[in-house]
Chains A and B, each alone.
Chain A
Amino acid sequence: MLSRRKFIQSSTATAFAERLFAAPADSKRPNQELESLGGVALAEAKKLKATYCDIRIIRYRRQFVTIRLNPERGTGKTLEVPNIADGGSFGFGVRVIADGCWGFAASPIVTKAEIARITGEAVTVARANAVLKQRPVQLAPVKAYRDRWQTPFEKDPFSVPIEERLELIRTAAAAAKKDKRVFSAGCSLSFASEDKYFASSEGSSIQQLNLQTSAQVNATAVDVAKALSKSRRYVPPPVTAGYEYVPIMNLVENAARVREEVIEHLAAPPVTAGKKDLVLLPNHLWLTIHESLGHSTELDRALGYEANYAGTSFLTTDKLGKARIGSDIVNVWGDRTTARGLATIGYDDDGVKATKFPIIEKGIFKHYQTIRDQAHLIGEKESRGCCFADDWSSVPFQRMPNVWLEPGKATTSLDDLIGDIEDGILIDGDGSFSIDQQRYNFQFGGDAFWAIKKGKRAGMVSQVAYQSRTTDFWQACDAIAGPAYWQQWGATNDGKGEPPQSNSVSHGCSPARFRQINVIQTD
């Protein structure tokens, strides 16, 4: 096995990036060399008479190990197909305001000369845009910070030997495949880190380290006679944490469950369409929260800035503080401080300190997600810290914080939710998801479905999707399980913007019950 020191040397990005981001973990000040590089952009922008400038210098590391077990063509022998990848990226992006307009430019060549050149490009872009300026960009005030922040973690995932990770995923994949009726199975384990330095003309200098850990176990069963295949997955919550989180995922134990359930799924009868009560588990409901409540409460969408791509929102600004979205038990937070949340950070890409705010209180729409250049448009005095980009080469804009649903009463259990249902469906895991461009009409599938009959969980059913309207759906929520059931799931591929960006976000919730939702039978 490789030693930790040797592995870090062989697995991290190259010498310059390594040196830049290698300041002691306990230091509260950013690396001086980063500050010096950042200063080049700020000075150049000032020289070119830009009224605002920020620079982000970012190094990414991504490691991915996967094992797939599938039959060999012709022999049927199970082949173990590995895939190990270790990649990274290093570059910087400069954002300026000149003549009242935004300009942005980015490059992977991190030198003082290139930073000065690219800052000039950003100013050129901003000045050119001024001919079609609607109104000058106005930024909400922000404090200046000089700080260093990192994801709380105990064990650096990049320091764990590859052999140890391989052993774990091989064991999990084998457990999922350990039945002749399972056609193929696999397991993967991924780690990503973002070392980011931010400096702005407001006086901030901030260095942050964000660590992500995620995994998946999957299995597929095939009935050749019927030309029919079904799959089942276990996706533990993707988190910002270190390797200490991996044992908590219980990959091997859950792989055995995936094996049993994929076989059951293959034989499961199709659902009978109609209005049914739904109990949605947190590993499913997170996605419904994301699409229907997360995106509809983004201010850039409500104002029309996203009209050409992701769309606008049914929650127009006249509805702020008034509109009923859900039942009285629906309380939803926007939160960039949630423990292990994928959108959790110290400061956003505007240099605003991470915060937490209510989005829905007792079913009523209370606050939008905002950034510095939007706050004044709805009469607010400060940003809610929701500005970020997915890469050094991407423009920071308004993205989603962790958006989570408050749990119900401490005494409410999952069995209580099920026990009160005559004809319903219990849905586990995410599947197909689609919602319109104003976030009214949606359709969600799932990964596995069980019938609920007369207050008890019955056998598995298949080909299930439910269709509803955001406000109808959340007003049909009549019970949420207690805090003991609250779990946080999420995604690393939330798309928005042009050019499209893909960001990470988490959504916590307890299992919840929704009455008389339209269930359809899919193919």
Chain B
Amino acid sequence: MITKEQAQKLVGKVLSFSTFPECDISIGSSERASIRFALNGITTSGFTVSHFMSITSVKDGQIGNTQIDEFDDVSLREAVKRTETLARLSPPNPEREDSLEPQKYADIENYVQSTATARNQVMIPHVRAIVEGAKASGLVAAGFFERAATSSAIANKKGNFGYGRTTDAHLSTTIRNSDGSSSGWASQPAVRIEDIDGEAMGKTAIEKCLKWKNPKRLEPGKYTVVLEPTAVGDLVQLMGFNMLARSAEEGRSFLSKKGGGTLLGEKLFPEGITLRTDPRNKLYSVLPWGGGGRGGAAGMPAGNVTWIETGVVKNLYYDRYYARKAGKESTPFPSNLVLDGGTKSQAELIAGVERGLLVTRFWYIRSVNQQTVQYTGLTRDGLFLIEDGKVTGPAMNFRFNESPVRMLQNTIAMGKPVRVRGGEGQGMIAPPIVVKDFPFTSISEAV
């Protein structure tokens, strides 16, 4: 892991080789330990260290970029030279933004040493608890446990410099019965590895697997659904990419108004819907600056933004270039999302549903229509019928075609938010919710 002092030294070297007016540098390093298990045993595990440096040189609007992971003097000198050569060959970029002036980055570091140093002796007991729990019930466990520590630095010729560290851990497990006819799943992301509880997760997944035997074949159609927090996160995390001011203004987004303009300020959702970016939330461990690429929000101080407030579209994502053209302030990129909820438990939400389906999570979610944010995907590892406020039995999996925009518009109740991470994407902080008229379009026999 690259320390602040090492990063400063590397930056100094790179800048000393630079002959262009602008030179931006981004350095990243990470150390990851992981355990993969299946069929009640460990299959592959790894310990990986990596680092990279991205160098961008700019002169007269011409930009050249390279990425390297050899940090000796010869390599660094060659890399800077290469970016300058590439820049000379490139046409000027009319959408470029100047390098950032020195920024003030807030101290939002949430780095946990125990996560950063955890190895097999810390991680294997959780895997063992899951595997032994599965074996005791005559079931078969698979899963993945990873912890990561990263350090990053950004710098430029104007004197801006930032350094940040993150840690994170994530354990997930799938429990299947031996003939492959039932499956249950659970997952837990945590900044502090001590917060991960393999035994409890194993119990949840085992319980789902045991309860999902002989699922009922229901007719596709619109159902009231109780979405567990992971299922909510699976879909709502995709909203972040759709909050762009540019595509909204250009008529290419669900936030575009017919005839021109955007739906900023319009009440598109029920009162209960508030979607925010919250990098300071202690459930996240993030860098003190945002992403979004050069000309985007890269290097801008991380900050809180409310995208949807009590149902009203409150902010759009303006990258640095587009903000300048529009005469607006640029905003941080819509990441580290939080969908606010209420205080009800998932059990209380289920109790309020006369007939519906309880969804553990979604899988293989892909865009169908970028403009309406329509996605397709499937339920997986635990779909249950709810009748008269009670879970009455398992149901065969369904394919859906739905937009998280419509889903939030149809939300009728919300529970307490937790941090979640499903099978795809980095996840978010999301509550369980109740949604009416969720459209399932076909049955899947998959387990």
A binds B: yes
A104 to B74, CA, bound (A): 30
CA distance A13 to B397 in the complex (A): 49
Judged by a CB distance under 8 angstroms, whether B380 is at the interface is yes
The distance in angstroms between the C-alpha atoms of A82 and B95, with both chains bound, is 9
CB distance from B116 to the nearest CB of A (A): 16
Q: Which residues of B contact A135 (CB under 8 A)?
A: 41
A125 touches B120 (CB 8 A): yes
Docked complex: B183-203 residues within 8 A CB-CB of A: 183, 185
Task: Give the residue of B32, B185, B259, B397 whose beta carbon is less than 8 angstroms from that of A436.
Answer: B397
Are B50 and A438 in contact (CB-based, < 8 A)? Answer: no
A176, B39: Cα distance in complex, Å: 52
Report the minimum CB–CB distance from B30 to chain A (whole Å): 10
- List B residues at the A interface (Cβ < 8 Å): 32, 34-52, 54, 63-70, 72, 74-75, 78-79, 81-82, 85-86, 89-91, 93-95, 119-121, 124, 127-128, 131, 140, 142-144, 146, 172-174, 176, 180, 183, 185, 246, 249-252, 256-260, 322, 325-326, 363-369, 371-372, 374, 376-378, 380, 397, 399, 401, 403, 423, 441-447
Cβ of A474 within 8 Å of any chain B Cβ, yes or no, is no
Q: What is the minimal beta-carbon distance from A349 to any residue of chain B, in angstroms? A: 13
Q: Pick from A220-228, A232-240, A257-265 the stretch touching chain B.
A: A220-228
Q: Which of the residues B41, B50, B79 comes within 8 Å of A91, measured between beta carbons?
A: B50
Report the separation of the CA atoms of residues A131 and B408 in the bound assembly, to the nearest whole angstrom.
46
Query: Judging by beta carbons under 8 Å apart, are A90 and B258 in contact?
Result: no
When distances are taken between beta carbons in the complex, the residues of chain B under 8 Å from A307 are 38, 140, 142, 174, 176, 183
Could you list which residues of chain A lie within 8 angstroms of chain B, going by C-beta atoms?
2, 10-11, 13-17, 72-74, 79-91, 93, 101-108, 121-122, 124-126, 128-129, 131-135, 161-163, 166, 183, 220, 222-229, 303-309, 311-312, 314, 316, 393, 395, 397, 432-441, 443, 445, 463, 465, 467, 469, 498-499, 518, 520, 522-523
Is A133 touching B42 in the complex (CB atoms < 8 A)?
yes
> Could you write out 26 A-B pairs with CB less than 8 Å apart?
A10-B78, A13-B68, A13-B70, A14-B68, A14-B72, A14-B75, A73-B249, A73-B322, A84-B64, A102-B44, A108-B49, A129-B45, A133-B42, A134-B41, A183-B250, A227-B251, A227-B371, A304-B142, A307-B183, A434-B365, A436-B363, A436-B444, A443-B399, A465-B376, A518-B442, A522-B369
Contact in complex: A224, B70 (CB < 8 Å): no
CB pair B65–A162 under 8 Å, yes or no, is no
Q: Which of B38, B48, B128, B326 contacts A131 (CB 8 A)?
A: B128
A441 and B251 contact, CB distance less than 8 A? no
Chain A residue nearest in CB terms to B322: A73
Q: Are B86 and A162 in contact (CB under 8 A)?
A: yes
Q: Find the A residue at minimum CB distance from B381.
A: A437
For A523, the chain B residues whose CB sits under 8 A away are 368-369, 371-372, 374, 403
Residue contact B94 to A104, C-beta cutoff 8 Å? no
Pick from B43, B259, B325: contact of A225, CB under 8 Å: B259
The answer to whether A73 touches B445 (Cβ under 8 A) is: no
Bound-state CA distance A441–B325 (Å) is: 46
Q: Are B258 and A443 in contact (CB under 8 A)?
A: no
Q: How far is the CB of A62 from chain B (nearest CB, A)?
A: 8
Contacts of A2 in B (CB 8 A): 85, 89
Contact A222 B250 (CB under 8 A): yes
A440 to B396, CA, bound (A): 13
Q: Which residues of B contact A101 (CB under 8 A)?
A: 42
Q: Is B446 touching A311 in the complex (CB atoms < 8 A)?
A: yes
Interface residue SS majority, chain A: mixed
* Nearest Cβ on chain A to B122's Cβ, whole angstroms: 11
C-alpha spacing A451/B447, complex, angstroms: 36
Chain B's closest residue to A9 (CB) is: B78
Determine if B85 and A10 form an interchain contact, defined as CB atoms under 8 angstroms apart. yes
A125 touches B47 (CB 8 A): yes
Chain A residues within an 8 Å CB radius of B185: 308
**A81-B368 contact given A90-B70, A106-B50, CB 8 Å threshold:** no
Whether B82 lies near A86 (C-beta < 8 A) is yes
Chain A residue at minimum C-beta to C-beta distance from B30? A393
Picked from A124, A163, A498, the residue with its CB within 8 Å of the CB of B36 is A498
Instruction: Verify B89–A163 contact, CB threshold 8 A.
Output: yes
Partner of B444, one of A83, A441, A463: A441
A304 and B140: CB pair below 8 A?
yes
Which residues from chain B contact A439 at a C-beta distance below 8 Å?
446
With A14-B68, A73-B325: A436-B39 Cβ-Cβ less than 8 Å: no
12 more A-B contacts (CB under 8 A) besides A106-B50, A308-B36, A499-B146? A72-B325, A103-B45, A107-B50, A129-B42, A132-B124, A166-B89, A227-B371, A229-B251, A312-B180, A397-B44, A467-B442, A523-B372
